[in-house]
Amino acid sequence: MEDIWNDLAACLELRSIPTPPTDGAGSSPTGPPHTFEGPNQHLPHRRLFGGQLLGQFVRTANAANPSKAVKSLHASFLREGTSDTPVHYLADLLHDGRSFGALTVTATQGRRPIATCAVSLHAAEAGPSYQPLRPTASLPGPENRVRFDLLPWDTRSVTDLDAPGCGRTDYDLWMRMPTLDDEGSAAALLAYSTDLNVIGTALRPFDGIDQRGNGTAFTSATTSHTVWFHRPFATDDWLLLRHYGATIAHGRCFGRGDVFTADGTLVASFAQEALLRFHVDAVPAR
C-alpha cells in the first residue's frame, strides 16, 4: 500500500518544461502557454487511469496560476493513454482577473492529444455560507474496511459494490487520505478519487454484472468528467463520497456524486459520462 501511495504522490509532482520563444502568434492574451511533464502510475495493465489525468490537470492549473485555486474542471478524454510514456500538459491561460481565472489544458503523449480540460479558477474571498441539506450517514467502523488498489489509503463502506442486482443506484464510500499541506494537492487527490466508482454504481441494478466485468461482459471508458470544488477541506479527515448512477442508454452511462466532510459539509461535487457497451452474450437483466 505504501508503494502505491508513493507512486501516486510522485505523479502530483510535475516538471516545468521551458516554452520556446515565439513571435506571439497563437498565444493567449495573458502570454504564451506553459508546458509541464507528469510521470505515470505503474499499473499492471499499462493503461492510464483517468483519475491520474484529473489530478495532474489540477496540478497543472496550480502551477500555471498559483494565485488562485481551482474552482471547477471539465475534462474530455479523447483516446487511451499508456503508462510507458510521460504525459505533457500544455496550459493556456485565457483569463486572469482579480477574482476569477480560466485556462485550458491539453494532455498529450507523443504529440497526440489524449485529453483536454477546461479549468475555472477563483481567488479566496469572504462571504456567507449556506447549505440546506446534510447527509445522515455515519462513519462505518473498522470492520467495514474495503480495498481499492487505486486508492492507497483507508476506505470504508457498508455496501458491497460488486454485489449486482440489488436494485440500488447509489453507493457511499468513506475515505481518509494522507496528510497534505497544500490545498492544490488535496484537490488533485480528490479529483483522482472521483473517477473510480461512478460506472460501478450505475451497474448495481443489473443481475450478473459488476465493474469487474470490463473487457469481458462489457466495454467501458470515461469520456468526460467534471469536478466542482465548493470549500477547502483537510485530507486527513474522513470524507464521504456519495455516488448516484443516473442513467444507462445508447451505449453510454452517466452518474454524479457529492463529497461531504464527516460533519456533513459539502466540499465538492462531480459528474461523469462514460462509454458502456454490453457484449452481445452478456446483455444484463434487471
Q: Is residue 51 part of a domain?
A: yes
Residue 154 has a CB neighbour count (10 Å cut-off) of 15
Q: Is residue 136 part of a domain?
A: no
- Cβ–Cβ < 8 Å for 57, 114: no
Pair 151, 51 in one domain: no
Pair 157, 268 in one domain: yes
Average pLDDT for the chain: 90
Report pLDDT for 162. 78
Pair 163, 264 in one domain: yes
Pair 102, 208 in one domain: no
pLDDT at 217 over 90: no
- Cβ–Cβ < 8 Å for 38, 87: yes
pLDDT at 88 over 70: yes
Report pLDDT for 173. 97
Q: Is residue 248 part of a domain?
A: yes
Pair 187, 99 in one domain: no
Residue 254, amino acid:
F
Pair 56, 99 in one domain: yes
Q: Is residue 131 part of a domain?
A: no
Choosing from 91, 122, 153, the residue where a domain stops is 122
Q: Is residue 89 part of a domain?
A: yes
Choosing from 122, 157, 191, the residue where a domain stops is 122
Report pLDDT for 51. 97
- Parent domain of 104: 2-122
- Indicate the DSSP class of residue 85: S
Q: Tell me the residue ranges of DSSP E strands in 25-141.
A: 34-38, 69-77, 87-96, 100-109, 112-122
Report pLDDT for 283. 62
Instruction: Indicate the pLDDT class of residue 20, thresholds 50, 70 and 90.
Output: low
Q: Is residue 272 part of a domain?
A: yes
pLDDT at 276 over 80: yes
The percentage of residues in the chain with a pLDDT greater than 70, rounded to a whole number, is 90
Cα 244 to Cα 42, 55, 140, 263, 269: the distances in Å are 30, 22, 19, 20, 11
Q: What is the pLDDT of residues 28-50, one digit of tens each?
A: 666 677 999 999 999 888 889 99
Least confident of 21-30, 99-108, 114-123, 165-174: 21-30
Give mean pLDDT, residues 201-205: 89
Q: Is residue 34 part of a domain?
A: yes
pLDDT at 25 over 60: no
Report pLDDT for 4. 87
pLDDT at 263 over 90: yes
Instruction: Indicate the pLDDT class of residue 138, thresholds 50, 70 and 90.
Output: very high
pLDDT at 165 over 80: no
Side-chain half-sphere exposure of 34, counting CA atoms within 13 A:
20
Give mean pLDDT, residues 74-100: 95
Report pLDDT for 171. 94
Q: Is residue 130 part of a domain?
A: no
| More confident call, 162 vs 119 | 119
Residue 212 corresponds to which cell in the numbers above? Answer: 469487474
Pair 193, 161 in one domain: yes
Least confident of 20-24, 117-121, 245-249: 20-24
Pair 161, 277 in one domain: yes
Alpha helices, DSSP H only, in 12-158?
50-64
pTM: 0.91
Least confident of 18-27, 134-143, 159-168, 235-244: 18-27
- Indicate the DSSP class of residue 48: P
Pair 187, 77 in one domain: no
Pair 115, 149 in one domain: no
Contacts of 132 (CB under 8 A, 6+ apart): none
User: Into how many domains does the chain fold?
Assistant: 2
Domain of residue 204, CATH code: 3.10.129.10
Pair 8, 117 in one domain: yes
Report pLDDT for 22. 54
Q: Is 35 exposed, middle or buried (0-12, 13-18, 19+ CB in 10 A)?
A: buried
Pair 81, 196 in one domain: no
Give mean pLDDT, residues 282-286: 57
Report pLDDT for 82. 92
